[in-house]
Amino acid sequence: MFGIKKIDIDLKSIGSFAIDLFICSWKGSLRYYMWLAFLGFFIVFWIYGNYQQLSNGMIVTGLNDQVTWGIYLANFVFLVGVAAAAVTVVFPAYVYKYKPMKEVVLIGECLAIAAVIMCLLFVVNHMGRPDRSWHMFPSWLPIPYLKGIFNWPNSILTFDVVVLNVYLGLNAVCAFYYMYMKYIGKEVNKYIYIPLVFIAIVWAFSIHTVTAFLLNTMPARPMWFHSMLPIRFIITAFAAGPALIIIAFTIIKKTTKLKIKDEAINLLAQIVVWCLGIALFLTLSEVVTELYAGTEHSFSLQYLMFGMHGLNNLVIFFWFSLFAMVTSFVLLLIPQVRKNLKILPYICALAFVGIWVEKGMGLLLPGFTPSPIGEFVEYTPSIIEIFNSLGNWAIGFMVFTMLAKCAVGILTGELRYKPTLAKGED
């Protein structure tokens, strides 16, 4: 009888937790509803774009025989870094026990969940049809009707999807378990929670490393075929991710009751500036290495920086990304500017956009030009690709917004379990 009653109470608290989170995620001010409506606007076009791609196939994209990876995988590569960068919040909080960061570590985990969801959406778009995603499920899983062609271990993408799903599961378990324990007014079980957190920290490095292997294991693409690429991926991730987290922290601090200490934001700003500096150094090293000899292996970089044979669509993107990253780095080097929370979010936004352009337009796309047989063909994303990409970002931001709102409610104590007493109980 006692055990049954205990289970019943636990089920009630879990049900109450789920209901309260759902209500909290959809309840807010007029500004909150306007933000969700703004994101919903892009999701409408996302529905149309996915319908067109599903109905007509990949012919609606701008991809061709020479450039087979486009804006979908460009966003995927970038967002894997954003997901991995949540470790810049988790690591100081649990390894160095930095209290200002530990108080808001839940926000970083929410960002990781949203970023991985966006990554998986872009993978599905890249495959052309959602039903092809069954090939990403390992054949040994006990899931009926999901016995596709899981090309493992030959396909690095299968590795990538597996590690991303594991990372998503780790962050979801950690975040929701932490929120649930706070919701019912109890401390987390450190023997369960802390090991999962440390596994997630290590796994964060693995997801971006495997993504780098997706590119740098191709000897036919000289621009990617070097061992420095995984390091460059991780460094740029640890600049772009914290930059986005700083923007989120600033907005949350201004619009909610959650007190985010300036020390937490200052630490993230320092991580951004030093990782950005290392990223620029690696970019300079690659430019010197490729262009000094000027062999045919440097054609992709020459095409990106200066254009070749009258093709120069990507040149403006390279120089813009370089300008954005250098400007952000120089400004963040100045302590008075870096600690000014009024202008810091704008500098972080500039750095975030610069790294996004550098990783997508400045790395993924020029790797296909020229082709292995020397063809120079340019790629321009179609309107359908743009609709789907904007929609994926909108879905990700909507997921993060709702998760962050629930997390704020939990951390501020606004969401707490209020058990109803049975008749006759005091």
Q: Has residue 421 been placed in a domain?
A: no
Q: How many CA atoms lie within 13 A of 364 on its CB side?
A: 24
Residue with tokens 């104590």: 413
Q: In this structure, is residue 376 part of a structural domain?
A: yes
Write out the DSSP string of 291-313: HHH--GGGHHHHHHHH-BTTB-T
Task: State CA 302 to chain mean position distance.
Answer: 29
Only one residue has tokens 């054949």, namely: 139
CATH number at residue 128: 1.20.1630.10
DSSP-assigned beta bridge partners for residue 311: 308
- Look-up: residue for tokens 């954003």? 82
**Residue carrying the six token digits 């909290």:** 24
Residue 158 structure tokens: 């299968």
Residue 96 lies in a domain: yes
pLDDT recorded at residue 100:
86
311 phi/psi in degrees, rounded to 5: -100, 120
Q: Is residue 7 one of the residues assigned to a domain? A: no
Mean pLDDT, contiguous 10-residue spans, the chain (426 residues) = 45 88 91 95 96 92 90 92 88 86 89 94 87 68 62 75 90 93 89 91 88 88 88 90 94 90 92 94 90 87 90 91 96 93 95 91 88 88 95 96 94 83 44
Residue 400 domain-assigned (yes or no)? yes
Residue 165 structural domain: 40-411
Residue 74 lies in a domain: yes
Q: Look at the chain and report how many structural domains it folds into.
A: 1
Does residue 356 form part of some domain? yes
Burial class (CB in 10 A: 0-12, 13-18, 19+), 290: buried
Asked whether residue 28 is assigned to any structural domain, the reply reads no
